[in-house]
């Protein structure tokens, strides 16, 4: 598959194929990550997170590919690792590199945003499974509220809607607290 074909299949939501195709670059990325000191145990997570970011970015209508897709993915993974490693280790002293930032500057990686998103990821872990399912169906699967109500056994579309907002409220509350901590870390 060419890079354009991969991007096209991502835009057609055929993630499965695209991911399998992209995974062919996994050894190369893995090596590069090792080069920059990523611990072995973290590599799969970094790569998967990188893939998620790539899927997300390529779906944006204004996305323009300025390099090979594999290079782009490597760049994302490295940036992601760099961001992660800032939180790493006193004990496991990590080789950090400004080189990453320089070499892969073309990758649009918003560190601040990514940090917030990781926080929200942990927050989403804290809310109820039912909430998670509801939000996923609505935002990711783009399903209509009526169908969601039916699928999840709500009495009416309206109660499903209310439930959704309650879930959101819970998430917002948690997020507000945590995001504040992020900006003003407790000394």
Interface with other proteins (CB under 8 A): 15-17, 19-20, 23, 26-27, 30-31, 34-35, 37, 40-46, 48-49, 51-52, 55-56, 84, 86-99, 101, 113, 116-125, 132, 135-136, 139-141, 161-162, 165-166, 168-169, 171-172, 175-176, 179
Question: Residues 6 or more apart from 46 whose CB is under 8 A from it?
Answer: 33, 38, 77, 80, 81, 84
Integer Cα distance of 64 and 44 in angstroms: 26
Least distance to other proteins from the beta carbon of 149, Å? Answer: 16
Residue ranges in 107-156 assigned as alpha helix (H): 111-126, 129-135, 145-152
CB of 68 to other proteins, least distance (A): 20
Compare residues 65 and 101 and give the one whose CB is closer to other proteins: 101
Residue among 1 and 124 whose Cβ is closer to other proteins: 124
* Least distance (Å) between residue 147 CB and other proteins: 16
Q: What gap in Å lies between CA 166 and CA 158, rounded to an integer?
A: 12
Question: What span, in angstroms and rounded, lies between the C-alpha atoms of 144 and 136?
Answer: 12
Which residues are within 8 A (CB) of 120 and not within 5 positions of it... i.e. 6 or more apart? 171, 175
Q: Based on CB atoms, which residue is closest to other proteins, 3 or 115?
A: 115
Find the shortest distance in angstroms from Cβ 16 to other proteins.
5
């Amino acid at each position: 598959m060419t890079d354009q074909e991969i991007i096209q299949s991502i835009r057609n939501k055929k993630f499965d194929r695209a991911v399998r195709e992209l995974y062919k670059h996994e050894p190369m990325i893995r090596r590069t990550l090792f080069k920059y000191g990523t611990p072995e145990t973290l590599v799969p997570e970094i790569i998967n997170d990188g893939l998620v970011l790539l899927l997300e970015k390529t779906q944006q209508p204004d996305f323009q590919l300025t390099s090979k897709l594999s290079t782009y993915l490597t760049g994302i993974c490295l940036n992601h690792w760099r961001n992660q490693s800032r939180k790493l280790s006193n004990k496991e002293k990590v080789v950090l590199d400004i080189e990453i930032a320089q070499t892969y500057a073309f990758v649009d990686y918003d560190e601040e945003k990514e940090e917030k998103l990781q926080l929200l990821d942990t927050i989403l872990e804290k809310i109820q499974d039912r909430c998670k399912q509801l939000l996923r169906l609505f935002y990711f699967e783009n399903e209509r509220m009526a169908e969601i109500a039916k699928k999840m056994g709500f009495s009416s579309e309206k109660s499903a809607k209310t439930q959704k907002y309650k879930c959101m409220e819970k998430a917002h509350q948690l997020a507000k607290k945590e995001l504040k901590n992020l900006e003003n870390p407790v000394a």
